[in-house]
C-alpha cells in the first residue's frame, strides 16, 4: 500500500467553513477512483489537501496524471505538492483490524 500526502497553499483568506463546504461537495468524486482505499481531507495553517491510502503507487500516479490534477489546479490555483510513502502496515481502529501489505 502507498500513502500520498497532497498539499497546497490555500487562497488567502480561505476559512475552515469555506474549505469544509468544498470538501463536502467534492468528496463523492473519490468513491469511484480505482485503487483508492481511503482519503482524508486536510485543513490548517493556510494549507489544504489530503492524505490518500492507495492499493499501489501505480494507481496513485494514474489518478494524479488524469483529470484530478486539472481539478486540483482549478480549486487551489497552484500545482499540488505530492509525497509518497510506503505503508506496509495500516491500523484501522474503527474497523478493528490491522492490514499488512503483501
| All residues at 6 or more sequence positions from 88 whose CB lies less than 8 Å from its CB, including other chains | 1, 100, 101
CB 54 within 8 A of CB 82: no
The pLDDT of residue 75: 81
The structure's pTM equals 0.91
Q: In 3D, which of 101, 43, 33, 35 has the Cα closest to residue 71?
A: 33
The pLDDT of residue 87: 96
Question: Does the structure show a pLDDT above 80 at 102?
Answer: no
The pLDDT of residue 76: 82
pLDDT tens across 36-91, in order? Answer: 999 999 999 999 999 999 999 999 999 999 899 998 888 888 899 999 999 999 99
Q: Which residue has the higher pLDDT, 16 or 102?
A: 16
Q: What is the CATH number of domain 2-100?
A: 3.30.70.100
| CA atoms of 27 and 4, how far apart (whole Å) | 17
Amino acid at each position: 500500500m502507498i500513502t500520498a500526502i497532497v498539499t497546497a497553499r490555500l487562497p488567502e483568506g480561505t476559512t475552515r467553513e469555506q474549505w469544509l463546504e468544498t470538501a463536502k461537495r467534492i468528496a463523492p468524486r473519490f468513491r469511484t477512483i480505482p485503487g483508492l482505499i481511503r482519503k482524508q481531507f486536510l485543513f490548517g495553517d493556510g494549507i489544504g489537501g489530503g492524505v490518500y491510502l492507495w492499493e499501489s503507487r501505480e494507481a496513485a500516479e494514474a489518478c494524479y496524471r488524469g483529470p484530478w490534477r486539472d481539478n486540483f489546479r482549478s480549486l487551489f490555483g497552484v500545482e499540488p505538492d505530492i509525497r509518497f510513502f510506503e505503508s506496509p502496515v495500516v491500523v484501522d481502529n474503527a474497523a478493528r483490524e490491522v492490514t499488512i501489505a503483501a
